[in-house]
Every structure is written in C-alpha cells, then in structure tokens.
Structure 1
C-alpha cells in the first residue's frame, strides 16, 4: 500500500487528501501544526475578514455549498464550510492535529519525516512513500523591520495574529498597509475607533464589490435544484475570465476593467487626491473588490498617509515629512512571506540536496508541483501557482488531480522524479512571460533578490487546468 503524508489542512491539503482517497489511496495521513483544520481561514480573524472571490467559485466543484449567506461570505462561514468538508469527506480519522512536519529527508526509497508535537515539543519520525506539502503561500506573516518598533508602548499586532479580545473602541489605531486585509479591516473598525491612520506604501487597484445576500428562498432552491449552483459558479467563472484577460494584457479587456476601476475612484474618491491612484500596472498586485474603502477614507477621523514611515516611537509613528501620529494600537496589515515556500520545513532530497539551496535564487517547480532531485515530492500551491483574479481553490483542484495521477504512477512503477531539463524549461517560460506585459515595471514586492517572480501564474486559469490535466510520463525519470 502506498503511504502518503500531506502537510497542512487548509483548502489545498483537504482537496488533495480527499481526491487521493476517492481514487482508492486509503493510507493518507494529514499533519496539521494547529489544533484544527482551516489554514488561513483559521488564522485570520481580524474584523471584516471575508472572501474577496465570490463563494460559488471559492469552494470545491465537488462540494458546492447551498447555504452561503452572501456572495462574499465572512471568514467564519468559509472556515465552517472547510471543516464541514473535512467531516463529510471522512478525513477526521486521517488527521494528526497539533503535529508539525519539521523536516523531511529522502532515504532512497521513502521520505523520512521528523514530526514535532506542538503541545509537548517532543519529536518522532515516520516514513512515507509520498510527501505532499500543502502549507501554502500565505502561512507566514511578514512584519516589516521598522526602526524603533520595539519601543512602541501600545499594542502591536499583525492581522494574521489578531486576538479576538482586542477592543478597538475609542482607540487611536495606526494601520500599516493598504492590501487586501487593510481594505477589509479599516471599514470594519472605523465606527468604533477614535481615530484611524492608514499608512500606505502604494495605492491598490480596486473594483466595485457586487455583494448580495442569499435569502432563505435562494438557499432552499439551491438545495432542491442543484443545477442553480452550477449556473452561479459558471457565471462567476465568466466574470473572472474578463478580469483575467485584463490581468494578462488583453487590450480590450484591460481598457474595460481599468475604466471600471477609474470610474470607482472618480465617484468614490474624488476628494482624496492623487494618493489613491496606483502608480503601477493593473494586475501587478491583486486587484481588490471593495464597496466601502474610499467612503471610509473620507471620514473625518480617518487619515490616509502616503509619506514613508521613518520611525516607530513609543507614542506612535513618524513619517518622512516630519509628521508624528499618536497610536494606541498598531496593526500590521503587511501580508505574508509568499516567496518563502515551505519554510521553516527543511527538505533534503536525493544525494543530500537541500531544497533551500536549490531555491536560493527563488523557488521553482515544474507546473508549480514537482522539483528535480526530490522524488515523490509533490507541492500544493507551489511556485508560480498564485492567481490575481480568480479562485485559488480552482488551482488547488487542478494540482490535486495531477498529484493523484503522479501517486498512481508511483504505485505502479516506483519513485517518480521530474527531469531537470523539463523543470528548467518550464521555469524559463514562467520568467520570460512574467518579465513582460503587465509585469514589466512591477516593483520588488513580488520579486526575489535575484529578480525572479516566483509566486504568480502568468496566464489564464483555464491554461493551468489544461496543462495539469494529464501527467506526461516522459517528463519524469
């Protein structure tokens, strides 16, 4: 029997474990460092946290949910959906919660894992034929090294480590960052805060958020007429096709989507000045859906600061223009170390090759899934598989289906390792495509020190689905 270890119990880990078991591979163990499943939806509990992709598409195609309360559901609802899937798929007996995969080494025939019990700190080992890291790109929060940050006398917190006990009522709050989490957080806390100061490095591209409630009748129809859910999913997919073509440089689609974004700023942000106008190409960073971001920035007790932060003091923040902003609570809405794949998991492959050395100039993997020199190692949400316009769950399903084929090949023929020339050709294609079109002029936040873009997929999601539909045995040794 083929022994399979999955590291991580978020959307990716649950998807691949389920499809493997459905394909007949019963010896699957899912290791999760936390005490419950959920991934980013378990860890992110900040006020306003919600999905920015419509729920009909931000869900598994094989587990559509008739009970979404709205088109863009809050985080608790998505977390409940994912845990319901884990239960419904029968994965609970396969979960090892509170256990992290600390290291993995290829023995020549199997992967020997070093497992760390998160409660006791004790370590143990186990061997598996297949290792599938599903730790994602959004699991390690980034807190910038700002001068004087250690001297701040108030409370400082990252959005991904939000404590539900924090009371924002009457507080002077500084929010560093204007990405996806800030766009959700700031409107959610503005009513209760005494003052909110938003420190912006670069203005985000935005689009109107067409949210709507799903009432009792709609939910009842979903349960009784399942094709309605398929139709909603297809409609959402078509919308992401339009935005996807804009992101990948199609002139007509790009002009249309840019015009919608510019119209939103004209109607909602005319008094905010040039500080809300992005200075980079649309698609270089994730486009954000919002209906209340600009309205919130217009409020008298909410300030948008576009000067660079030069120092954090005991009382708050100083900026390059000499201004000082007093804060009781400092919130880092500064995202994740998306380019540091698998860290801190230490992986040693064939002939003692260390994955961190292989990826010194930036991570790469054939189809974002497999790396030469590391047999029987298959990644979920690996390099160049992030999407800026559609559901990452769609990518997860594509990867999981491909991995099922790879595991079947291992079960039939023994260890599987992608050819170095195949992986190199795919990586060269990614860097060439990401070096042109919309990515030209993108600033350093998506690039490694070596100038490589290692997170995003350069084309349409449908292209990725097509290229991962069939495992080509000739790509492997």
Structure 2
C-alpha cells in the first residue's frame, strides 16, 4: 500500500490504540510521552501519525504479538489509559487484549482424568452464553449437549429480525476473545451479521455438531439418588428425555416477551407485532403505524419505519436518555480493515481502548453529598453527562420546545440501561411522525385511544415493550432437592443466586446471565462475562471430577450471606434512589423493591469473586 493509503488508515483509526501498539513494538520514548488522543495537539498528532506510517511502511504484515510478560503488559495497559491501575484492576483486565488463545477459560490441574462412564453436561440455549459454555467444555474434553429451542444458534439474535436491529456496543467488544480479528464489515454489526458470526463460531469450534436444535426444555428434575438431572424437551417428534450430570442454563434474560394487555386488544383488526416476532412478510410501506415504547428496540426501528410508512405515531411511555455513538451504522473503512489485518497488535489494543470506556462507569452511580448540597443533582460526572445529553436533545430536535419538553427526563443518566440513538430524535421531527405522551386508554377497531379521548387511526401496532426479565429460567420447571420447583423457591423475594450462578438445593446447576449478573460499574462487555461465568462453572466441574465426586452445590448460608451483602451494596447505587427513578427501571424487581438484573459490585471485584472460588461456600460430595 502507498503512503497516502496507510496515512488515511492511521488517521481513521483509534489513535490511542495506535499509540500503544506502536510503543509495544518500538519502545519509542517520544511515543510514550504522548497524551491520550483527545488531548493531542496538532504537532503531537502529526508526530504519532508520521511515526506510525513510517513503521508500517517497513513492517506491515499479518500476525499478532505474543502476550508480553506481566510487568511489560501492565506497563502497556497503564500507558494505554494514562492511569496507574491497582492489582485488582490489572487481574480483571489483563486478558481484554486477547493475546492468549482462549482467555478466561480453565484447564485441568494435572491432566484430564478418566471421566465416569456416560458423564455429560447439558447446556440450555445456543446464544452467546451457550456457545461460551460449549467452547469451555470443548477445551476440557467433557462430553456435552446443547439444547436449543430454535432451529439455529444465536439465541436472542436469532429471534430478533426487526428493521435495523444491530448491536449498540462496538462489535470489536461484542465478540468472543478466542476468535481473533473477525472481519466485521460494520463498526456496530447488524443482526444478520451477528447471526452469521454466531453460526460461524458454532460450526468452527464444534458446538454445532453437539447441538440438538428444535429442543425446547420443559422440565428438569434432579435425581438425588444418582446425582443426575433428568431433562424433558419438546421436539418435533414429541417429548425427549435426556440425562445430564450437570446443567448449565444459558437461556438469557430476554427470552420471555412482555404481552400487551390493553383494553380492546381483541377489537383491533390489524397486526400487533412484538419486535421479537417480526413477520418476514410485514410491509409497513405507505401504512399508518403505531410504535409503542422507546427503549433500545423502539429507538432502533423507528427511523427505518418512518422513512417508508405513511404515518407513524410514537407512544412514549417514559422519557429516556438516548445518546449518540461515534460511527454507529457506518461500515468499517477499507483502510481500517487493512490496518487491522496488517498492524500487529492494533486489533488487540483497539479492543482494550473500546472496553476502557466502561472502566469509570461506577463514578456515575454513587452520590456526592457535597455536590448535592451545592445544588447538584447527583454527582459532578453524572450531572455533566446530563447536560451533554440534554444539549443533544435540543440539537437533534432543532430545539423545538414541544419536543424538548416531552423528551428531557427528570431522572439522572445511568439510572436505566443507556439507549443508543439510531436517528430517533431526528425521526420525531419528520412531518409524518407524531410523538404521543398521553397514556393509552384502549385499542379500538380503528386504532389507539389515549386518555384524552383522541383516537389515532393505525393499520398496525408495534409493541416494543420489552421482556419480562424477572422470570429467570421461565417457563421451564426445575425441580431440585425434595422436589422443590425453583420458581417456588424464588417466590418469597424474587429470583436470587450466589454469584448470579448457583442456587442451594439445585446441585450441579449453573446459570449464565442469571439474577444479579452483569455488573453496572467498572465492568466489561457481555461476551467477556459469559466466558468468565463459564470458567467458574468449569472450575467446579473440574474439581468435582478430579476428586471423584458427583455433586457440587452452594450452601444455604453462603447464598444468604452473599445476597444480604448484595442488597446492602445495591442500596448505595443511583438506581435505588429517587434521583434514579426506581419506579421506571427494569433493572429492579418492582414487586420486591430490589436490584434484580445486575450485580452491584465494582466490576473488578465481581471478576475476582467469579474467578477466585470460595470453596468453603460450596459442598462437593
């Protein structure tokens, strides 16, 4: 490639990743002294670009550096963010660059032992988390079967096919660390691209051959005499019974859609569509469409629908903080693709810098009483983000007073899951789009009537109202010790687990993305956590097998102590305070007024809990 092409590639790249990747190769003190990309002056920026172009002209080519020794790796990580991290942070982040072949996986302690005859692990679901568990079993050489209710892998990405569905975190972080430099064609992959990726992973690493598709688990019963789970799955040929020594539930939190219960639903003659069941033949061109909801799904699909529909009514149930993402919806430029393929280490450090944006999220979640006493809402960082997002609303709506008034939330950012803007605000300024904030009273044969008596005539209704996320493991029944159904066990105060993964009385059973799982603060992308949780389950399975035991179970005392500490930590978070609008938050279990979806722990601390096993909390027999 000529110098101009290489220069364009570097200019389009993440200059922080460029800086650390170049220093990784050269130890150039001038590069080491440069500040973060946002703080580079013109001369410093030119120095970095010129030196990188010169190095690439001499050294460009495929390959990936070996993982540096730990002191060197830590030096590079500190250089990347220009911050000195502590030991806790280093341990939780040192695999983010994915220099290792299979980060976050575990191995036998002294070679694979002889396994009991017929030993098998059953993994429920073949989405991201199920495939993460599958690769861990592949590496250990443990026989396993994946039960998947659909006819292809992909989980929620298989179900969701609405217009312009895509990831809202950059694809280089929404991927497995063991598949190096996957050729994403877009910065934020569309749903079809994610489905292709997961199918590729399933086939390449052996999970596809171990998957029984169209197998919908209905019932799981633990046989206390044999320490075996007996699974009953609904298949095209009827109920099939499968036995497994261990069950890893990878069914996810977005498996059970919310069903609209509006008065008059049966009177509306047109289609009422939940985005997770988008009909392939649904044509909204030239039609009058209602979109109910403005969470991630409703925001993603509005713009493409509005471009072709005759009229769109957006029924906003609550205000959202909706934020921009650089390069959202854009293809990866050919120059950047070349850089990823020919600048060894750039892919690794781009991953790190993309994830590093999450390191400081905990700073948004804790109150600053002095700041509040001086007139602030929550704390300085959170209030600065509020101002930025408020200004963004003004900008995107052309400062229209009637829109701004109805769009700016009265609660703090990071109270709810951040929503990424896919042109939603701009779509509201179109002549054929109306924002409706009056509550829906009922459906009529002609359309939707709001509380003020207005009827808006529509041909079809899109119910982007989300999922019933508090129904973990639903609708299958799981019967543990003494025949106790897990849903009855959870009836007192909602679904709970130890480390989000284990429940007493349910031996040899793990959950990935279970209750109180992904941490809200200082964490990393979800596929990383799927691998971390799979690694935790694997550690326990390995110990059980190496010691010749047949069951592993968390104690009731450990389960209760963990959840008491969890509730105490959660009480400090923004989400549980009035400024965080707890009554509007799907992270919370509204019935029991407690944090339900996420772990309240600081991300690196939660990583430690999930990788350094507290064996005294477990019973292995």
Report which stretch shifted further, 7-16 or 261-270. Answer: 261-270
Report which stretch shifted further, 61-70 or 400-409. Answer: 61-70
Say whether the 8 Å CA contact 1:202–1:279 is kept in structure 2.
Answer: no
Q: Which has the higher contact order (CA 8 A, sep 6+)?
A: 1
Q: Equivalent residue of 1:394, what SS? A: helix
Say whether the 8 Å CA contact 1:66–1:229 is kept in structure 2.
Answer: no
Tell me the equivalent position of 1:178: 294
Shift in alpha-carbon separation, 1:183–1:460, aligned structure 2, 3 A: farther
**1:284-299 equivalent positions in 2, closer than 5 A:** 284-299=415-430
Tell me the equivalent position of 1:462: 604
Report whether the alignment pairs 1:472 with 2:614: yes
Tell me the equivalent position of 1:256: 384
Report which stretch shifted further, 359-368 or 65-74. Answer: 65-74
Distance between the aligned counterparts of 2:409 and 2:421, measured in 1? Answer: 15
Say whether the 8 Å CA contact 2:519–2:606 is kept in structure 1.
Answer: no
Report whether the alignment pairs 1:443 with 2:579: no
Distance between the aligned counterparts of 2:336 and 2:191, measured in 1? Answer: 21
Task: Note the C-alpha offset of 1:259.
Answer: 2.8
Task: Note the C-alpha offset of 1:253.
Answer: 3.2
Report which stretch shifted further, 196-205 or 427-436. Answer: 427-436
Say whether the 8 Å CA contact 1:339–1:448 is kept in structure 2.
Answer: no
**1:111-126 equivalent positions in 2, closer than 5 A:** 111-117=229-235, 119-120=236-237, 122-126=238-242
Distance between the aligned counterparts of 1:106 and 1:231, measured in 2? Answer: 45
- Unmatched segments (≥5 aa) in structure 1: none
Tell me the equivalent position of 2:135: 18
Higher Cα Rg, which structure = 2
Say whether the 8 Å CA contact 2:366–2:572 is kept in structure 1.
Answer: no
Report whether the alignment pairs 1:381 with 2:544: no
Which segments of structure 1 move beyond 6 Å, counting only runs of 4 or more? none
Q: Equivalent residue of 1:116, what SS? A: strand
Deviations 1:301-335 (A, max 9, x none): 11111111110111111111221111101000011
Shift in alpha-carbon separation, 1:188–1:386, aligned structure 2, 3 A: farther
Report whether the alignment pairs 1:424 with 2:541: no
Distance between the aligned counterparts of 1:64 and 1:160, measured in 2? Answer: 30
Shift in alpha-carbon separation, 1:249–1:367, aligned structure 2, 3 A: farther
Distance between the aligned counterparts of 2:135 and 2:195, measured in 1? Answer: 17
Tell me the equivalent position of 1:397: 531
- Unmatched segments (≥5 aa) in structure 2: 1-114, 369-378
Tell me the equivalent position of 2:187: 71
Report whether the alignment pairs 1:343 with 2:343: no
Say whether the 8 Å CA contact 1:199–1:305 is kept in structure 2.
Answer: yes
Distance between the aligned counterparts of 1:248 and 1:33, measured in 2? Answer: 41
- How many matched pairs? 474
Distance between the aligned counterparts of 2:241 and 2:345, measured in 1? Answer: 47
Report whether the alignment pairs 1:300 with 2:431: yes
Say whether the 8 Å CA contact 1:149–1:311 is kept in structure 2.
Answer: yes
Deviations 1:155-204 (A, max 9, x none): 11001100121111001000110100011000111110001101111111
Task: Note the C-alpha offset of 1:279.
Answer: 2.8
Report which stretch shifted further, 434-443 or 168-177. Answer: 434-443
Say whether the 8 Å CA contact 1:248–1:458 is kept in structure 2.
Answer: no
Distance between the aligned counterparts of 2:287 and 2:393, measured in 1? Answer: 29
Match of residue 365, structure 1, among 479, 492, 497: 497
Deviations 1:35-54 (A, max 9, x none): 00001111000001111111
Deviations 1:199-242 (A, max 9, x none): 11111112112124312232233234452211111111111223
Task: Note the C-alpha offset of 1:154.
Answer: 1.0
Q: Equivalent residue of 1:443, what SS? A: helix
Say whether the 8 Å CA contact 1:243–1:257 is kept in structure 2.
Answer: no
Tell me the equivalent position of 1:33: 149
Report whether the alignment pairs 1:194 with 2:316: no
Q: Equivalent residue of 1:317, what SS? A: strand
Say whether the 8 Å CA contact 1:372–1:423 is kept in structure 2.
Answer: yes
**1:118-267 equivalent positions in 2, closer than 5 A:** 119-120=236-237, 122-211=238-327, 212-247=330-365, 251-267=379-395
TM-score (norm. length: structure 2): 0.74
Say whether the 8 Å CA contact 2:393–2:404 is kept in structure 1.
Answer: no
Tell me the equivalent position of 1:92: 208
TM-score (norm. length: structure 1): 0.95
Q: Equivalent residue of 1:204, what SS? A: coil
Say whether the 8 Å CA contact 1:362–1:448 is kept in structure 2.
Answer: no
Shift in alpha-carbon separation, 1:80–1:248, aligned structure 2, 3 A: farther
Tell me the equivalent position of 2:542: 408
Distance between the aligned counterparts of 2:501 and 2:473, measured in 1? Answer: 12
Report whether the alignment pairs 1:453 with 2:585: no
Deviations 1:4-57 (A, max 9, x none): 0000000000001101221332x0100101000001111000001111111111
Report which stretch shifted further, 84-93 or 279-288. Answer: 279-288
Say whether the 8 Å CA contact 1:149–1:312 is kept in structure 2.
Answer: yes
